[in-house]
Structure 1
Amino acid sequence: MVKIASAQYDVSFLQDWRQYEQKVSAWVGEAVEQQAELLLFPEYASMELASLFPEQVYSSLEQQLKALQSLLPDFLKLYSELALSHNIYIQAGTFPVKIENGGYRNRAYLFTPAGEVEYQEKLMMTRFENEQWLIEPSQDIRIFETRFGKLGINVCYDSEFPHYARQMVERGAALILVPSCTDTKAGYYRVRIGCQARALENQCYVVQSSLVGEAPWSEAVDVNCGAAAVYTPVDRGFPDDGVLVIGEFNKVRWVFAELDLRKMERVRMDGQVFNYQDWPKQFRAD
């Protein structure tokens, strides 16, 4: 069993780094008080850090990406220390990271209780990322070992493409984390429907986290909406609608749930249906 906390996280206009530290530490502290062992923050939650720079920087899509790189070491240190000190796993949403060729990738960091830092990069870009922000896709699909089982990460839009999650579950994942950032209800529902479909077809847990609220100062994350949730198989031992828990739309809060990853093995072997087993062979990962 593992208790997960999935965030409906708001974008702040920050006065200094210390305010960011206090905000994140308070969020983590609240989840730990509720005995959460795995914390999930939304995609691009880190973009509020752009407010620490002058207006000509935070108002520019290009300049904010460049400036944020100077804060990456502090970002990694903060979450590493929080994960280590609280003996928890933290998926800290995503951070746009500059890579060797000079481009950027949308990187979802996973911080472990042992102080290790791992990551999954986003695999499929939205039109905004591809056409305006020039964020590059990755092709590397990773699986993460934890003390409660294996998990994978689908960054927002990735959840709408079944082959990514499928490769993860075929490599042992019973849990897919989906940090998301959507600026319309339609966008939110696309990701939500994708999450529910991945849970259904793979007979696994899928957990979504959403960025919420408005940040008119930011062209990147000016409008955000959604709800955090845990989705399950629609089968024996799970909710009839496949929704274990879901937060109130657009409210700033944690959403908590207890997950038993062993149930996934049982439902895959003896469910009412065999979605996982019946996946067409031509779609199986090598």
Structure 2
Amino acid sequence: MKTALLQITSSDDPAENLEAVRAMMADAAAQGARFILTPEVTNCVSTSTTRQREVLQHEEDDISLTGLREQAAALGVWLLIGSLGIKTHDADGRFANRSFMINPQGEIVARYDKIHMFDVQVTESETFRESANYRPGTRAVVADTDFGKVGMTICYDLRFPHLHSALARAGARILTVPAAFSPVTGAAHWESLLRARAIENGCWVIAPAQTGEHPNTRGKTRYTYGHSMVVAPWGEVLIDAGTETGIHFFDLDDSSVTEARRRVPSQTHVRPFDGP
């Protein structure tokens, strides 16, 4: 099945980002894509909590979710919205970082809230505290599609192999890792971790990413690594999108999962153990 990754540079204006993504989706579908994937925080990249509170919306009111569902239905494609920043009704006012699987009728077939929060200091001048504004999810999710089961993760989840292994054991043959990766950690770890998750689980790993310098009306400038990537179940990197925005295509072939797992059936060898 022809599949398309969208590599984008979202601003802190959801309406502007929505129009850009809808146009890219139309272009991808016109070139034959049946499954389209967008990166993490497709609707808004911002370092300002004030700006996020101004423009983010609850799921039932979110213009990005509504507009992208409508576009998926109009084009008749499957769509993974890598994630949207979504307001919640939590007492502490934190948002959810939520991924959506949309079917060709525009219906939501699965939702996944990012479990692992990016609370790190990658350099002396670059610190992230995702948990200050976003609350972690608590449930792993496998989406049922007509092309296979898809294990849904987001960005920093990539560093937690037990999550991906659980998804694979639950039937996932494709793992999605939409991201807005830091340039520092991206250069050091992105490809290695993606290839490891593919090899360990005999799964396709599809990772659409944000890239470049993100225009913001408030807060400091945010930069992301880019390099949207597709890794086949045997570990081959089929796409490395570099740092430019654009659409990248590949053929998603389920038989390669079967072959990789036949050669190294590691998921059938998982054993319980004691300690340490």
- Please give the range of the TM-score, normalised by the shorter of the 2 chains: 0.7 to 0.9
Q: Identify if the C-alpha distance between structure 1 residues 40 and 121 changes in structure 2 by more than 3 Å, giving closer, same or farther.
A: same
Give the helix-richer structure, 1 or 2.
1
Q: Distance in 1 between matches of 2:200 and 2:173?
A: 12
Are the counterparts in 2 of residues 47 and 221 from structure 1 also a CA contact under 8 Å? no
Q: Are 1:122 and 2:111 counterparts?
A: no
Q: Distance in 2 between matches of 1:233 and 1:59?
A: 35
Paired letter, 1:64: Q
Q: Are 1:73 and 2:62 counterparts?
A: yes
Are the counterparts in 1 of residues 58 and 87 from structure 2 also a CA contact under 8 Å? no
Q: Are 1:163 and 2:162 counterparts?
A: yes
Q: Identify if the C-alpha distance between structure 1 residues 63 and 10 changes in structure 2 by more than 3 Å, giving closer, same or farther.
A: closer
More deviation, 191-200/167-176 = 191-200
Paired letter, 2:57: Q
TM-score (norm 1): 0.82
Q: Distance in 2 between matches of 1:119 and 1:261?
A: 23
Q: Identify if the C-alpha distance between structure 1 residues 258 and 199 changes in structure 2 by more than 3 Å, giving closer, same or farther.
A: same
Q: 1:82 aligns with which of 68, 71, 84?
A: 71
Say which SS state the counterpart of residue 140 (structure 2) adopts: coil
Q: Distance in 1 between matches of 2:232 and 2:105?
A: 29
Say which SS state the counterpart of residue 226 (structure 2) adopts: coil
The structural deviation recorded for 1:226 is 1.9
Residue equivalent to 2:236: 242
Q: Are 1:231 and 2:262 counterparts?
A: no
Say which SS state the counterpart of residue 10 (structure 1) adopts: coil
Say which SS state the counterpart of residue 33 (structure 2) adopts: coil
CA deviations 1:82-119 (Å, max 9, x no partner) are 11111111112211222232322211122111221131
Paired letter, 2:169: E
Say which SS state the counterpart of residue 124 (structure 1) adopts: coil
Q: Distance in 1 between matches of 2:12 and 2:85?
A: 18
Q: Distance in 1 between matches of 2:32 and 2:18?
A: 21
Paired letter, 1:123: I
Q: Identify if the C-alpha distance between structure 1 residues 161 and 152 changes in structure 2 by more than 3 Å, giving closer, same or farther.
A: same
Residue equivalent to 1:61: 49
Say which SS state the counterpart of residue 256 (structure 1) adopts: strand
Are the counterparts in 2 of residues 103 and 135 from structure 1 also a CA contact under 8 Å? yes
Q: Identify if the C-alpha distance between structure 1 residues 193 and 86 changes in structure 2 by more than 3 Å, giving closer, same or farther.
A: same
CA deviations 1:178-211 (Å, max 9, x no partner) are 1000231423543332221110000110011110
Q: 1:47 aligns with which of 44, 49, 67?
A: 44
Residue equivalent to 2:138: 139
Q: Identify if the C-alpha distance between structure 1 residues 233 and 67 changes in structure 2 by more than 3 Å, giving closer, same or farther.
A: closer
Residue equivalent to 2:255: 262
Residue equivalent to 1:111: 102
Paired letter, 1:28: M
The structural deviation recorded for 1:244 is 1.9
Are the counterparts in 2 of residues 229 and 255 from structure 1 also a CA contact under 8 Å? no
Q: Identify if the C-alpha distance between structure 1 residues 130 and 20 changes in structure 2 by more than 3 Å, giving closer, same or farther.
A: closer
Q: CA RMSD in A?
A: 2.5
Gaps of 5+ in 2: 120-127
Say which SS state the counterpart of residue 94 (structure 1) adopts: strand
The structural deviation recorded for 1:215 is 2.2
TM-score (norm 2): 0.85
